[in-house]
Amino acid sequence: MTAYKKKAESPLVLKTIYENTKLTLEEKTTLEELIKASKVKNSKGRRYSQHWLLLCLLMHIRSPGGYKFIRNMNILPLPTPKTIRSYLRLVDTKCGFDKNFFQLLKKKLEKKRPFQRHAVLLFDEMQPISETMNTKKKATTINEKASHALVFMIQAIGDSYTQPIGVFASKGPVDGTTIAQLVIKAIILLEKAGVYIHGLVCDGAQTNRKAWSIVGVNGNQVSFRNSFEHPLTPERKVFVFSDTPHLIKTIRNRLFNNGALRVIWISPEDDSIKWEHFCVMHEEELKLPANLRACPKITNNHVNLSNTGKMRVKLATQIFSKSVADGLKLYMTQGTPRLQDCLATSQFCLKINNMFDSLNRKIPAHGVRPGSKDYYTIIEDSIRWLNDWEDNYKSGKIDSSEFLTKNTAEGLHVTLHSALCKINQDSLEKFFGTIRLAGGQNDHPATPTFLQLYKLLSVYSLLKPPKYGNCSVTEDKAPITLLTLEDIRTAYQDKHQEPRAIDHLKTRLNGLIHETDWEIDEILEIDRVVPRSID
């Protein structure tokens, strides 16, 4: 047994195992920690790798009870909860834009080529649970606890990296005026760090639309403007975009809630876009075997929307797909009684499908190039179609209930005039989804936990977004980290050097620029009101 054990512990044997198996980085780390633990008789003498300690940090945040069970049953060699808590106390949970972070970002970007520094600014809010945390032994508490977290992130245009740059906690959603001020400040800080900001992306929340108006952006046909002057370089413009997946979702919800929309592109008596058509088609599909259905992906969740279903973008993009458009035509030509007037609905699906595809291109070969007639044709056709639809509403040919909401229409106007696949909130929604996943069963982690996770996930991309979260992974890459827990150990070993070590750790915590491609899945929003925000 002893000889076998020594053989199994041989680095050469481990290397052979790694080469002949498809173990992930986490599985390799776990195997190494198990072997290391078997060599130590006293658990107090264990030493853990940096990667394993960070895994344990996230595991403990996700489920303290599960962490305790796994440790007590000796299933895995885990550090004590006290050790984990001591590491978590070193995670800076202050809000705002960190000057040290932007200095580090500047050094990182100096290694990038000029075209890789061009980016857009994303911002969105998440709603953690309000909770008070004492940061010192003799701390005071406040009655007005933060209930929202506003996160800013950059998304590279000429590269694949994304990077959170700041988080702000507030009681209620941040008001539009404050958002506009923070956007200008973020652009100035990023430009000084070497990032060229060309646009900003947000969803259709009322506070965000207020921020639009403050900087002079307007989606109205008469006074249309989709950009504002760059705060540092007057000859440059900063373009504003409404998140495309959110727009598709709001169009779907408008049709579902009202039951019908009208565009008047066929004839006045045969131009209704009806939600009923999707329901009837699904009923006909259920009569057939799965392999004979025209739209096998369409389920009951697509046509009978729950409150959660209304917030899922994936269900919206699939219902407005080419396969559904073709399926409606198929059943119409076959003489299905309640689908004889579905031509307008079929054309509407195709129109939305083409528009979304043109705004969501991810393959470089499909990108915008000189002479990309298909792209420009679709965009220009979509703009004309939207203008005609709005003109029909303004002229009284259709009711307000048969047109889009004001926010959705203006968001489409602004976004259609200049957009690329990276001009959306996929990266930010993925970031929120990962935080929700790390929170375990609680989709809304407490504010202190959210701030700790924000810092950890900003520098260490370990968790994949949930299967039914904000985005789906399209490329699996090993996590990249600039964090070394030797800094944490140093902070604890020498109390006299603790402030300096912690400052060094804080700088390292702000360093990761992780590179991964993501595909939009679904977006879960929060209810928005406009109470007063506080620092």
Final residue of a domain: which of 88, 115, 149? 88
Domain identity same for 180 and 70: no
Predicted confidence band of residue 269 (pLDDT cuts 50, 70, 90): low
Residue 492 falls inside a structural domain: no
Q: Is residue 41 part of a domain?
A: yes
Instruction: Let me know if residue 436 belongs to a domain.
Output: yes
The larger pLDDT score, comparing residue 426 to residue 202, is at 202
Name which of 30-34, 97-101, 222-226, 444-448 the model is least confident about. Answer: 444-448
User: Do 215 and 319 fall into the same domain?
Assistant: no
Q: Is residue 526 part of a domain?
A: no
- In a domain, residue 525? The reply is no
More confident residue, 217 or 495: 217
Q: How far, in whole angstroms, is CA 328 from its chain's centroid? A: 33
Angle between helices 50-62 and 447-459 (to 10 degrees): 150
Which one, of 482, 508, 424, 498, lies nearest residue 153 by Cα?
424
| C-alpha span between 422 and 364 (Å, rounded) | 12
Spell out where 110-236 has E strands. 118-126, 148-156, 161-170, 196-202, 227-229
Residues 303, 388 share a domain? yes
Structural domains of the chain, count:
3
Mean of pLDDT over the chain: 76
Question: DSSP assignment, residue 42?
Answer: S
Neighbours of 219 (CB within 10 A): 24
pLDDT at position 500: 52
Amino acid at 416: L
Same domain, 153 and 267: no
295 & 441 share domain: no
**277 and 378 housed in the same domain:** yes
Q: Is the pLDDT of residue 19 over 50?
A: yes
Nearest to 403 by CA among 158, 535, 221: 221
Least confident of 31-40, 242-251, 319-328, 521-530: 521-530
Between 88 and 190, the more confident residue is 190
**Cα(286)–Cα(427) distance, integer angstroms:** 36
Residues 317 and 268 in one domain: yes
Same structural domain, 81 and 189: no
Closest CA to 200 of 23, 161, 190: 190
**Which of 409, 403, 434 has its CA nearest to residue 518?**
434
Which domain covers residue 23, as residue numbers? 2-88
Instruction: Choose the final residue of a domain: 394, 416, 438.
Output: 416
Residue 145 has pLDDT above 80, yes or no: no
Residue 533 lies in a domain: no
Cα distance between residue 306 and residue 275, in whole Å = 15
Residue 499 forms part of a structural domain: no
Tokens matching residue 11:
């680095």
pLDDT tens string 437-464: 655 555 566 666 666 666 666 555 434 4
Q: Nearest CA to 390 among 408, 409, 418?
A: 409
- Taking the C-alpha atoms of residue 407 and residue 176, their distance in angstroms, rounded to an integer, is 15
SS3 512: coil
Same domain, 287 and 153: no
Whether 405 and 258 share a structural domain: yes
Phi, psi (deg, nearest 5) at residue 446: -65, 155
Cα angle: 183, vertex 185, 187; to 5 degrees: 70
- The predicted-structure confidence for 311-364, as pLDDT tens digits, reads as follows 888 899 999 999 999 999 999 999 999 999 899 999 999 999 998 888 876 666
Q: What count of other Cβ atoms lies within 10 Å of the Cβ of residue 24?
A: 10
268 or 428: which carries more pLDDT confidence? 428
CA proximity to 213, closest of 345, 64, 407: 407
**Does residue 530 lie within any of the structural domains?**
no
* Residues 236, 208 share a domain: yes
| Residue where one domain finishes, among candidates 416, 433, 448 | 416
The tokens describing 205, both together, are 């929340």
96-105, 380-389, 492-501, range with the lowest pLDDT: 492-501
Same domain, 78 and 104: no
First to last CA, the chain: 63
For residue 107 the two structure tokens come to 């050094």
